[in-house]
Amino acid sequence: MLTQTLRSLERDGLIRRDVYPTVPPRVEYGLTPLGVDVGRLTNTVAEWAVENVDQIFAARSAFDEKAAEAVQLL
């Protein structure tokens, strides 16, 4: 599964794969400039989630309460 994910990220241009002709073969992975950019975006989303986690959990609780009430009415 890891190999498939790495190949997919390589295909998308997010990581680079360097193979060294050694015994045993050595492979190194690194982010491309495109991968660095998407990492910044992902980090921004993660920061937003941390800042808003209380509101997210409150919304989930309110939703779950309404759903439970609806089930009880049936």
In tens, the pLDDT along 35-61 reads 999 999 999 999 999 999 999 999 999
| Structure-block tokens of residue 37 | 């950019």
pLDDT at 71 over 90: no
Tell me the CB-side half-sphere exposure of residue 71, using CA atoms within 13 A: 6
Q: What is the pTM of this model?
A: 0.68
Domain ranges of the chain: 1-31, 33-73
pLDDT at 73 over 80: no
Mean of the per-residue pLDDT values for the chain? Answer: 96
Cα 17 to Cα 40, 47, 48, 55, 70, distances in angstroms: 21, 29, 31, 40, 53
